[in-house]
A and B are shown apart, each in its own frame.
Chain A
Amino acid sequence: METVKKEKRSLGFLEQLYVGEVVKGLAITGRHFFRNLFIHTAHLFGLMKSRKGAVTVQYPEERRVIPAGYRARHRLVRREDGSPRCVACMLCPTICPAQCIHVRAGESPDPAIEKYPVEFNIVLDRCVMCGLCVEACPVDAIRMDTGIVEMSAYDREEFVNRRDLLLGMNPQTPPLPKTRHG
């Protein structure tokens, strides 16, 4: 492999003094400060409403549209007959970097299906929401498309999402809007 060596730009004398550079930096942040301060102040008087002084979204009153592919809380997909689609192959606990998924497999009552998850726990307070479990699933049984981003609880035990809870969740409705990337 070819290594590209980047020449380090040597600084001039004035730059080495840093004083000018410091001022430059302060000027940039200062510019933002005064411009936004001005806009905010104008807003107080009902002016310049079209220009926004901040990009902040006032969650929970305001909510951003969750883009397609956003990794929200997990759910387990059901088959048409309502049984879990999961085949308890344990690829998700295998790939999980946080080791937050625990599956116990059992013999499926349906002879056409080899095994199914007797227990399926996702320990959310360990989860890093990386989505690797979704990628690893060979049967598309686990998805992170619930659109639920709030995950909080008063008790650790509440973070343990069990199979039936996961099966009971629905994908985000209405359907996700198409983003720029499709």
Chain B
Amino acid sequence: MDILIILIKIFMMIGFLMVMGLLLTWVERKQSAVMQDRIGANRADILGMRLMGLFHPLADALKLLTKEDFVPPSGSRFIHTLAPFIAFTTALVGFAVIPFGPPIHLFHREITLQVADIHVGILFVFVAAGLSIYGVILAGWSSANRYSLLGALRGAAQTISYEVSIGLSVIGLLMVFGSLSLSEIAHAQGDLIWGFLPRWGVMVQPLGFLIFFTAAVAETKRVPFDLPEGESEIIGFFLEYSGMKFGLLWIGEFVEIVVMSGLITALFFGGWQVPFLYEHGFEFPWGTRAGLPHGLVLTLQVASFVFKVAFFCWFQMLVRWTFPRFRYDQLMRLGWKGLLPLSLLNILVTGIVILVFD
């Protein structure tokens, strides 16, 4: 039974991520178009129906599936095939520890809305993110193309650099919430500060959030940190990929966005929490109460999580289509000379505050 539940949750999660990923391919096109006074992809049609280009992801998938699967003759076929799977899987896995709702009681069981509630959930996410580097490196290396390799090296260097900051930036948060479990962190964010402010991570750790968000974007390797791929350059670790293997890398990238959005939501924006919404309904600080049935509350909370994730996806898109790319030295300088000291400072200040006030 437990296995069944887990499997259902896994399927739900994968389904959610895949749908989000597919949608994001569409969103990316449409959003950038709208931002740039264009119309964007809208030509894929089924029987004349175009639905604002919503069929494009489908068309893309079809196209990618039918395309030639090219392996560089001098490259390693096995690793070349393996790499996108590593990249894609590690991207997916990270979401396993993110809670998308409060635990529910069903069939006399408490079911956590989370694939795996690990005590060290946050570490798990980082581990997954760290592993994704293998995908990049192997993809670049196995292509036997110096530009691919350069892209991969850039990716590795960049991911490692920003992993430091991303890790340190959440330490303050962990100190505040005192847990490594994401479900606990999410739960703890339901509290209020001074009785009226939701105790979301962003409230208690604004600097941590900024650092985390910046580093998260860098981890997803998107503009302005897209040097490993560099669409406008020849460099890119998946330069030699085509067909669905390219599709995997590509979808993986979008999945990473969703995962990062989920992580941001879970860590800094209260996870599934809706301000002032408790198990039985709203309780506003000024005393108004509005009782709500449990199912509705739950729906609201899950919806709030999905909405927040969607918002951050949108926001990352906005960032991606707003800023120009960093130069590589700027990228490194920001990582090591900007974010790293700031996150250390953040830990120090947090520590002092905790010491003083507790």
Contact = CB atoms under 8 A, between A and B. Distances in A.
Contacts of B35: 29-30, 32-33, 36
Contact of A55 (B37, B40, B318): B37
Given A19-B210, A33-B31, A26 B37 contact: no
A170 to B, nearest CB: 30
Contacts of B39: 53-54, 56, 58
Interface stretch (B89-97, B147-155, B193-201, B319-327): B319-327
Given A19-B210, A22-B323, A54 B33 contact: yes
Given A19-B210, A54-B38, A58-B39, A26 B33 contact: no
A28 B319 CA distance: 11
B319 A53 contact: no
Contact of A36 (B34, B210, B322, B323): B34
B36 interface: yes
A40 B33 CA distance: 12
Given A19-B210, A54-B39, A58-B39, A26 B322 contact: yes
A32 B318 contact: no
Contacts of B33: 54, 56
Given A25-B323, A26-B322, A33-B318, A55 B38 contact: yes
A37 interface: yes
Interface string B18-51: 0000000000000101111111100000000000
Interface residues of A, number: 17
A26 B34 contact: no
A54 B41 CA distance: 13
Interface string A53-73: 111101000000000000000
A32 B34 contact: yes
Q: At the interface, is chain A mostly helix, strand, loop or mixed? A: helix
Contact of B36 (A26, A32, A40, A58): A32
Contacts of A19: 210
Interface in B318-349: 318-319, 321-323
Nearest to A19: B210
A23 B58 CA distance: 35
A36 B210 CA distance: 28
A161 to B, nearest CB: 29
Contacts of A37: 34
B343 to A, nearest CB: 15
Contacts of B38: 54-56
Interface of B: 31, 33-40, 210, 318-319, 321-323
| 3 nearest A-B pairs in the assembled complex, by CB-CB distance | A56-B39, A29-B322, A36-B34
